[in-house]
Amino acid sequence: MTPEAFVELFQDALELVLVMVSAIVVPGLLIGLVVAVFQAATSINEQTLSFLPRLIVTLLAMMFFGHWLTQMLMEYFYQLVERIPMLLY
């Protein structure tokens, strides 16, 4: 395997991980920001108040994007298997 091929595989894997993590984490971060602004505006300092909405949004994001993320992961593994003969030479 040439170094260029390894770098290409590693780059594709990192891009896939970035997209998958972003699809799950970003909605929770946005809801956390909204709750934090609400808490600051109303002077409510309850720490558990921000946890439940973030948890619910994260679970909903996993449910909503789960099929798409699984499809992306399967396509990447199919591409890896198809590339095996090219990488051995």
SS3 of the chain: the string is: CCHHHHHHHHHHHHHHHHHHHHHHHHHHHHHHHHHHHHHHHHCCCCCHHHHHHHHHHHHHHHHHHHHHHHHHHHHHHHHHHHHHHHHHC
Q: What is the pLDDT of residue 61?
A: 95
pTM of the model: 0.77
Domain locations along the chain:
3-88
Q: What is the pLDDT of residue 88?
A: 78
Q: What is the pLDDT of residue 18?
A: 96
Q: What is the pLDDT of residue 78?
A: 95
Instruction: Tell me the average confidence (pLDDT) per consecutive run of 10 residues in the chain, 89 residues long.
Output: 84 95 95 91 84 93 95 94 83
